[in-house]
A and B are shown apart, each in its own frame.
Chain A
Amino acid sequence: DAGVIQSPRHEVTEMGQEVTLRCKPISGHDYLFWYRQTMMRGLELLIYFNNNVPIDDSGMPEDRFSAKMPNASFSTLKIQPSEPRDSAVYFCASLTRRTSWGVQFFGPGTRLTVL
């Protein structure tokens, strides 16, 4: 299996622009998580899905952030408009209870820089 795939790996954009981050979970995994990692705040859970349905979005910082999961193999995290304080590494992770309960498999992350 290729593991969790994220794109792009690096994104540099200017304040006010729309940013879309993409994630392909491991095939067969039915949970998908979006995290943000910064030096100041560590690893923060933004939102997670089960069977493509958002379960908990309490970590989404504000209305500028939105996430979708249109099917089992694809999810997006969108920031519109972006701000410099959104600069961070964004991780996607997936999980299945069927074969590896509790183990979240993380992607390589997208490093976002907002100028």
Chain B
Amino acid sequence: QQQVKQSPQSLIVQKGGISIINCAYENTAFDYFPWYQQFPGKGPALLIAIRPDVSEKKEGRFTISFNKSAKQFSLHIMDSQPGDSATYFCAASDMGNEKLTFGTGTRLTIIP
């Protein structure tokens, strides 16, 4: 019940295209859904996060879409750039718990 399932495992997108990464969860107590970005040789860093009181959150080219009834959330990267090439992790937690449950990660490659 604690799992967060992430897909796809890897993704190749052309420069300027839209990158979409999906996550699904089982635990209905989860109420905080961050996305972390990790570059090679670095630790993960928070990219954007959402709480279930809204269905979408946008920060620049990055958007989280959240579907509470389906227990799914996704990351959309608009106008994808080579600098976006990284591994992306979705995660989830509940308000009373600082422990994050991470997805398995998606390796995104943006090609020119």
**Interface set of A (CB-CB < 8 Å, partner B):** 4, 31, 33, 42-43, 45, 48, 50, 56, 91, 93, 95, 97, 102-109
A55 CB to nearest chain B CB (Å):
8
Chain B residues with Cβ below 8 Å from A106 are: 43-45
Chain B residues with Cβ below 8 Å from A103 are: 34, 46, 49
Tell whether, in the assembled complex, residue B44 and residue A43 are in contact, meaning their CB atoms are under 8 Å apart: yes
17 contacts between A and B (CB under 8 A): A4-B43, A42-B103, A42-B104, A42-B105, A43-B44, A43-B89, A45-B100, A50-B98, A56-B99, A102-B34, A103-B49, A104-B100, A106-B44, A107-B43, A108-B42, A109-B41, A109-B43
A91 to B103, CA, bound (A): 16
Contact partner of B43 (CB less than 8 A), chosen from A95, A97, A102, A108, is: A108
- How many residue pairs link A and B with beta carbons under 8 A? The number is 46
Contact partner of A104 (CB less than 8 A), chosen from B42, B46, B105, is: B46
Tell whether, in the assembled complex, residue A102 and residue B102 are in contact, meaning their CB atoms are under 8 Å apart: no
Chain B residues with Cβ below 8 Å from A48 are: 98-99
Chain B residues with Cβ below 8 Å from A50 are: 98
Chain B residues with Cβ below 8 Å from A4 are: 43
Closest 6 CB pairs of A and B: A106-B43, A42-B104, A43-B102, A103-B46, A106-B44, A102-B32
Q: Does B93 sit at the interface, judged by CB under 8 A?
A: yes
A102 to B48, CA, bound (A): 11
Contact partner of A95 (CB less than 8 A), chosen from B45, B89, B98, is: B98
1/0 per residue, CB under 8 A from A, across B37-55: the answer is 0000111111001000000
